Structure 1
Amino acid sequence: MDFSRYGAWTGLWPYAVLLIALGAWAVYHFLAPSNWREWAGAGLVEAFVIALYAEMYGFPLTIYLLMGLLPLDVPLVHSSGHLWATLLGYGQSGAIILTLISSVFIVAGLLLIVKGWVKVYFFGDKVVTEGVYGVVRHPQYLGVILVVLGQLMDWPTIPTLVLAPVIIWLYIDLARREEQALVERFGSKYLAYRRRVPMIIPDWKRLRQA
């Protein structure tokens, strides 16, 4: 494989470094890990960010491997990274549509992460039941899942496809473990909240009011 053909792509490394740094700051600021399970989740999300942007603006490892293993002729241009559209032959218009759809997931996820963080930050050591917490019990974890799924729609890579199910499983497991501790701490108050509000899949009727 002639690596010089990737010159226009690998010249985008400054964008990769910038976005990875911003992603690291956002992950550790808004997810605010405080124990080893939360740190493990944050670490996996950061690994997802690195894997994503290292290929998006660095070296297209996934395309390189696919072309080496399968009889594929993928144009070595940056837009080929919209892999679903590229492999299915949807071209630039398909890539744009996928980007728009994925953007809805990503923006919704980021809003949930930030809004969830704001509520916890200002309410402190209390059971928060208002705003996004009136829609879903773990808005930040749902936000992480939506961002991950949105990125997979737009720019899938082999590492992120491997990491995604692990991240989703870990955050659902983390939510369940946290709820056990919250029930022990707040008792009937949290049990009543848990009966009223779903854990991860939101109450869409309330979502617009959050």
Structure 2
Amino acid sequence: MSNDYGLWSLVVINSAVFIFFAFSFIKPKSKMDWRSLGAFSAFIIALFTEMYGFPLTIYFLSGWLSEIYPQIDFYAHENGHLLHTLLGFEGDPHFDPLHLASNALIVIGFFILASAWNVLFQAQKQHRLAKDGWYARCRHPQYLAFVLIMFGFLLQWPTIPTLVMFPILVFIYVRLAKYEEGIALAEFGGEYEVYKETTPRFLPQIGRVVS
């Protein structure tokens, strides 16, 4: 196997950096916070394990890939961007449309995560319903952010484990969102009912002004 893999120090460092970023933005306190962070962390660890540690997906598909692309060494790290090859892109995979879109989604996701947490933190300190900023556009911007980040990573480095995990994690976030809505309804009553009727759960209302 190419020396481009087996870099377990990079697996640990990259996983720790992204998990720490997420942790610093959401500052988990409740069980729900820890569950959402834990689900995201599992995805990140699985991703970087294949990106720098052991390319399980490439190993599993090696027979099929070698038949279709006999001239390509998929164990070279640059060729691990499978969508780059499968969709017929040429040149440096870090500058193809998918990778650029991936970077944009990841940056936007972390921006939403940071902005939403600041609004939620202020609302919790004042014991009021969070409905400003990104919470004025959708009811669960933090989960929207996690989905954007994970989907962004899938665009640049899809693997079998992360492709399997992604819909499962989206389902988990939907369940957590519904559970949180029940708690908010019990705490804020009619105010939350109005907020729920006028604000979508996940898909943001772009026309609304974010304060």
> What TM-score does the superposition give when structure 1 sets the normalisation length?
0.87
What is the deviation of 1:37?
4.5
- Aligned position for 2:25: 30
Q: Is the partner of 1:92 in helix, strand or coil?
A: coil
1:17 aligns with 2:19: no
CA gap 1:69/1:35 in 2 versus in 1, 3 angstroms:
farther
Separation (CA, whole Å) in 2 of partners of 1:85 and 1:180: 43
Amino acid at match of 2:26: L
- Aligned position for 1:114: 114
1:98 aligns with 2:94: no
- Aligned position for 1:130: 132
Amino acid at match of 1:9: Y
1:87 aligns with 2:83: no
Separation (CA, whole Å) in 2 of partners of 1:52 and 1:185: 38
Q: Any residues of structure 2 matched to 1:1-210 within 5 Å, and which?
A: 3=1, 6-10=2-6, 12-68=7-63, 71-72=67-68, 73=70, 74-75=72-73, 76-92=75-91, 96=95, 97-124=97-124, 125-206=127-208, 209=210
Separation (CA, whole Å) in 1 of partners of 2:117 and 2:187: 21
Alignment length, in residue pairs? 204
Q: Is the 8 A contact 1:38 1:174 kept in 2?
A: no
Gaps of 5+ in 2: none
Of residues 127-136 and 90-99 in structure 1, the stretch that sits farther from structure 2 once superposed is: 90-99
Gaps of 5+ in 1: none
Of residues 181-190 and 71-80 in structure 1, the stretch that sits farther from structure 2 once superposed is: 71-80
Alignment identity in percent? 36
For the aligned residue pairs, the C-alpha RMSD in angstroms reads 2.1
Q: Is the partner of 2:36 in helix, strand or coil?
A: helix
Of residues 159-168 and 116-125 in structure 1, the stretch that sits farther from structure 2 once superposed is: 116-125
Amino acid at match of 1:198: P
> What TM-score does the superposition give when structure 2 sets the normalisation length?
0.87
Separation (CA, whole Å) in 1 of partners of 2:141 and 2:11: 28
Separation (CA, whole Å) in 1 of partners of 2:79 and 2:172: 31
Amino acid at match of 1:148: M
Amino acid at match of 1:153: L
CA gap 1:202/1:151 in 2 versus in 1, 3 angstroms:
same
What is the deviation of 1:166?
0.8
What is the deviation of 1:35?
4.4
Q: Is the partner of 2:208 in helix, strand or coil?
A: helix
